[in-house]
Amino acid sequence: MKTHPALLGLIIATPLVFPGCAPPNSKSEVVAEGVIFSVEYQTHGELTRGFTRLNESKAVPAGSGSWNVDAHGRLTREFLIITRPQRPDLGPQVIPAHRLVSVQFGDGGIKQVDENQPKPAN
């Protein structure tokens, strides 16, 4: 079978066209991993969203998102992969690294998070 030179060039260039897409069976190096204290990211519509572990609505990064969220993250050069231990019904949330505005790992001294609970009264 003879391959046309233009087609061969397309096959060779394709991995270069999609930066951030790891080849199959490759393992991306983990940059950081653990409990997520807060994260802020841009959506496809260029809106900024986020969430925080704090039980305070005013602490949500970008002012739009969720608070009192228990989440675990795994950050690679390509993606932030978020899992929610208290929500096993949800699969992992994958945010491309180029959409991340900020991410902070750590529990912030908060030992227990009760998702979906209202913030405490002052």
Looking at per-residue confidence, does 76 or 21 come out higher?
A: 76
Mean pLDDT along residues 41-68 = 90
- Residue 93, pLDDT score: 95
Looking at per-residue confidence, does 67 or 15 come out higher?
A: 67
Residues 91-107: pLDDT tens digits? 999 999 999 999 999 99
Chain-centroid distance of CA 28 in Å reads 14
Burial (CB count within 10 angstroms: exposed 0-12, middle 13-18, buried 19+), residue 48:
middle
- Residue 62, pLDDT score: 80
Residues 34-45: pLDDT tens digits? 999 999 999 888
* Full domain range(s) for residue 59: 44-105
Name the maximum alpha-carbon separation found in the chain.
75
80 assigned to some structural domain: yes
68 assigned to some structural domain: yes
112 assigned to some structural domain: no
25 assigned to some structural domain: no
The Cα 99–Cα 43 span in angstroms is 7
- Residue 10, pLDDT score: 40
Residues 9-51: pLDDT tens digits? 444 444 444 444 554 445 679 999 999 999 999 988 889 999 9
Percent of the residues in the chain that have a pLDDT greater than 90, as a whole number? 49
Counting the structural domains of the chain, the total is 1
Beta bridge partners of 33: 74
- Residue 20, pLDDT score: 47
Residue 69 DSSP symbol: -
